[in-house]
Amino acid sequence: MTRRIPLGAPLLIGHRGAPGHRPEHTASSYRLAFAMGVDAVEPDVVATRDGVLVIRHENEISATTDVSEHPEFADRRTTKRIDGADLTGWFTEDFTWNELRTLRCRERLPALRPASAAHDDTEPILRLADLLALVAAASAEHGREIGIVLEIKHPTFFAGIGQDLAVLVAHELRRAGWASGGHPLWIESFERTVLDDLRGHGVRAQYVYLLEAEGPPADLVARDGAAAATYADALTADGLDALAVAVDGISVDKRMLLEPGGDALVARAHERGLRVFTWTCRPENAFLDPRFQRAGAPAAFGDYRAEWARIAGTGVDGVFVDHPDLGDTVFRA
């Protein structure tokens, strides 16, 4: 199999599939991303009460499923503190897989993406095992190897309720034949601890540290409290030196690349052998840097081509896109 990547073009990653067109993390969203030529897709994984890894943007699922319309689950609605923020809704860890499989997926941003929302309530939640099988089938169907950029969500929170996501992920990848380095696999998280744990479990992958534009990571807050190092600390010279011996790459908020010195950040990481990904490239005005917004509603497309060309010009190695078809026209031009 061959991969269709022009020389110098960044890896094109279908962010949760192709959520600009279908509800995120559904089978149809992923299949559309495959058909649109992505190099890889990015699922987010969280766990159920019985330790099944499911693919959801967050463990709180009220905005991405029809759970609120299931009276049998009304008493599961609760408030929890997740990574320092209070959230109210329904949470995957309060359901068994057999219960979650009765739900149907919904568009998370219906006001911005009504065409995607038209497909609400038609598809069930996927497990990680389901997606691994979908990617294998798509690679054979399209005659090219498609990769996975697997994001592990809230591992410190889950550890606090007795769920070791590193153990669960390692087991699932090993069972599906994805843990030995035979497939293009990247594993990412906003918490470095889980990346270290997975490497310790012998999972062969490219490890990518996700970096917010501000604030500290949840695992360091749990360990060090108010003294926790911030994401910004990780991007200093000393911080990048330390990352270079611990991970294979970093993934940064696109705002960091659009600010003055964005190309210098990429260059500093490259000097240390780190690959650089960025998230998330979306065409709607609501998500564009103000310089590239155009007249119209938040859902209207702005000058995304100019913004994405600016990002590509930094030399970034991978881009997460919600519309793989549009990403293809810009990042592979």
How far is C-alpha 258 from the chain's CA centre?
20
pLDDT at 9: 86
Q: Nearest 5°: CA angle at 157, between 155 and 159?
A: 65
How far is C-alpha 278 from the chain's CA centre?
11
pLDDT at 4: 45
Fold that domain 11-58+126-331 belongs to in CATH: TIM Barrel (3.20.20)
Give the position of tokens 């970096």.
211
78: helix, coil or strand? strand
pLDDT at 333: 81
| CB-based contact 155:189 (threshold 8 Å) | yes
pLDDT at 6: 52
pLDDT at 7: 55
Q: Which residue from 327, 216, 325 is spatially nearest to 279, judged by alpha carbons? A: 327
pLDDT at 47: 98
d(CA 274, CA 131): 28
Q: Could you state, in chain order, the average pLDDT of each consecutive group of 10 residues for the chain (333 residues)?
A: 57 98 98 98 98 98 98 98 96 98 98 97 98 97 97 98 98 97 97 98 98 96 96 97 98 96 96 98 98 96 98 98 98 90
Q: Which residue from 131, 127, 165 is spatially nearest to 148, judged by alpha carbons? A: 131
Domain residue ranges of the chain, discontinuous segments joined by +? 11-58+126-331
What one-character-per-residue DSSP string does 265-290 give?
HHHHHHHTT-EEEEEEE--BGGGS-G
Helical spans, DSSP H, in the chain = 27-35, 97-100, 114-117, 128-142, 155-160, 165-175, 192-200, 218-224, 231-234, 237-244, 254-258, 262-271, 304-312, 324-331
